[in-house]
Structure 1
Amino acid sequence: METFVSGGVEIAYSDFEPLSEDRREPIVLVHGFASTHAVNWMFTQWVKTLTEDGRRVIAFDNRGHGRSQKLYDPAQYALDLMAQDVANLLDHLSIARADVMGYSLGARIATVLTLTRPERVRSLVLGGIGQYLVQEAGLPGGLAEAMEAERIEDVENPMLKIFRGFAESTRSDLRALAACVRGARKAIDPGLLAQIACPVLICVGTRDDVAGDPSPLEPLFRDVRLVDIPGRDHNRAVGDRIYKQAVLEFLATRP
């Protein structure tokens, strides 16, 4: 991975060239909480899928995650700052405009980027996020404390225990993740979504209790398509073939 500095924070990223001779527009991938660019996008074969489709793929580790700098002040994880990291990465790579796909927390970051820097986003793909994009402040309550618990056995809530186990499996800095939870908790005003003029695709597993039902989002966007990922929960939906096919079709047909 290479690195650059975004607002004083070192961000690690990878820039993958298209594998197809039919070169298409670049796409930026924004991973979810406690994940990394590798776990979210490489191990699930997303990078392979998109580069074989002729796309330049830029994937990075969010601040506090993976190989990017770890921060312990919750204020450093405000969604506006995390969205600005994406814009700064595009600047660093001299990319004026790109398709942007985010998953879970990454979908929130991608939404904020589209609202604050609409000229940088050609189209928006939201995975693993439904009604909770606007109905909740984000990551579940008690999650920061679950990251700070001395042992995973001390976490009683089953969903929070799954998050803690995932964070441990990705060898995350648990103290940095606790700060991220506290700093990134912000509900997005549903009235703002009508300002997004670019095409939007939302893909959510039908068993995804973390994301919530995506159907309440449909009337909030100007140009949106919803796709159900049958039988998949929050974690298993990420690499699903139906999700991938929907994204490829969306990217091929959007203006």
Structure 2
Amino acid sequence: MPTTFTAPDGLPLSYTVWEGDGRHRRPVVLHHGFAADSEVNWVRPGVVNTLVDAGFTVIALDARGHGASAKPHDSAAYGESVMAADLSALLDELKLDEVCLAGYSLGAIVSLLVATNDRRVRCLAVGGVGAGIVDFGGVDTRVVDREQIAAGLLAEDRADVLPAARPFRRLARRAGADTVALAAVLRAPSHGPFRLSALSVPTLVLAGESDQLAAEPERLAAAIAGARLVRVPGDHMAAVADPAFATALADFFAYTDTGESRLAIGSPV
């Protein structure tokens, strides 16, 4: 059942815990992508079940503006740095000393920020991102215009929605999202460039083979010391639902915990 805790600025945020069987000492914390929520991004594609079956306790946060969490309509309430503070506050709430952290798309950006600054993150997996992190510090603006997506989410007539915004509009509808809140998320200030050289934890980069938002993932992996890269079938919306995604995630986190690997989880880049 979802549980609520209070973010640093007082907003109520929702998270869910699925208990593992105790094989692994570190829980896996999941942060979903933009316009999705924990159910859409992690439960329905089978990622949570795969991780729990592998013995992990799994914790999934609904980010502010998404899912069952609070959804202010003011862009000042958002930003990746604010969401990173929420994730660290959740670790405080649960009194966790060390975790494995995985994020997808927007959640990958947030997770990279947390892993750079919070020593409780001992292993990291990021999906749905690529060279845009290296070149722009976040979303690849060569592919996606945040304002166009915001306008597409708010458009009353589908004919007014540009093609690049349509997948996010469909995703928001599937999730039953508050589109005004999502537009505010997109219009929040950016956090600035990443210090990828400061990352020192084992890191896995997961990218869909036809995901334009995760183009050139090898460049992202090369910018993180010792990072491994795994490509899976699918575009930005489909890659996380491919069974290879969840399997690679579970195998990588098991490897960082026990040193044993069932499958090839990618080579260091």
Q: Which amino acid aligns with 1:145?
A: A
CA contact (8 A) 1:30 1:107 kept: yes
The residue that corresponds to 2:91 in the other structure is: 90
State the shift of 1:71 in Å.
1.2
State the shift of 1:215 in Å.
1.2
The residue that corresponds to 1:224 in the other structure is: 227
Q: Tell me the matched-pair count.
A: 249
The residue that corresponds to 1:193 in the other structure is: 196
Task: Return the alpha-carbon distance in structure 2 between the equivalents of residues 251 and 172 of structure 1.
Answer: 31
The residue that corresponds to 1:149 in the other structure is: 155
Task: Return the alpha-carbon distance in structure 2 between the equivalents of residues 184 and 235 of structure 1.
Answer: 25
Aligned positions of 1:201-216 closer than 5 A? 201-216=204-219
Task: Return the alpha-carbon distance in structure 1 between the equivalents of residues 22 and 95 of structure 2.
Answer: 21
Identify the match of residue 163 of structure 1 among 168, 174, 184: 168
State the shift of 1:145 in Å.
1.3
Q: Which amino acid aligns with 2:182?
A: L
State the shift of 1:56 in Å.
0.8
Q: Please list the CA deviations of residues 190-228 of structure 1 after superposition, one character each: whole Å capped at 9, or x if unmatched.
A: xx1011000100010110012222011132111200011
State the shift of 1:66 in Å.
0.7
The residue that corresponds to 2:236 in the other structure is: 234
CA contact (8 A) 2:149 2:164 kept: no
Q: Which amino acid aligns with 2:67?
A: G
Q: Which amino acid aligns with 1:122?
A: R
SS in 2 for 1:101: strand
Task: Return the alpha-carbon distance in structure 2 between the equivalents of residues 166 and 184 of structure 1.
Answer: 23
Gap regions ≥5 residues in structure 2: 258-269
State the shift of 1:149 in Å.
1.3
- The structure-2 alpha-carbon separation of the partners of 1:120 and 1:184, relative to structure 1 and needing over 3 Å to count, comes to farther
CA contact (8 A) 1:152 1:165 kept: no
Task: Return the alpha-carbon distance in structure 1 between the equivalents of residues 22 and 90 of structure 2.
Answer: 25
The residue that corresponds to 2:125 in the other structure is: 125
User: Stretches of 4+ moved more than 6 A in 1?
Assistant: none
CA contact (8 A) 1:133 1:187 kept: no
SS in 2 for 1:96: coil
State the shift of 1:235 in Å.
1.0
Gap regions ≥5 residues in structure 1: none
Task: Return the alpha-carbon distance in structure 2 between the equivalents of residues 159 and 36 of structure 1.
Answer: 20
Task: Return the alpha-carbon distance in structure 1 between the equivalents of residues 13 and 193 of structure 2.
Answer: 25
Task: Return the alpha-carbon distance in structure 2 between the equivalents of residues 133 and 74 of structure 1.
Answer: 22
The residue that corresponds to 2:246 in the other structure is: 244
Percent of matched pairs sharing the same residue: 36
The residue that corresponds to 2:266 in the other structure is: none
State the shift of 1:182 in Å.
1.2
1:114 and 2:115 aligned? yes
Task: Return the alpha-carbon distance in structure 1 between the equivalents of residues 250 and 256 of structure 2.
Answer: 10
RMSD: 1.6
SS in 2 for 1:244: helix
CA contact (8 A) 1:135 1:187 kept: no
1:52 and 2:62 aligned? no
- The structure-2 alpha-carbon separation of the partners of 1:98 and 1:184, relative to structure 1 and needing over 3 Å to count, comes to farther
SS in 1 for 2:214: coil
Task: Return the alpha-carbon distance in structure 1 between the equivalents of residues 107 and 190 of structure 2.
Answer: 13
SS in 1 for 2:26: strand
State the shift of 1:168 in Å.
1.6
- The structure-2 alpha-carbon separation of the partners of 1:194 and 1:229, relative to structure 1 and needing over 3 Å to count, comes to same
Name whichever of 209-218 and 107-116 sits farther off. Answer: 209-218
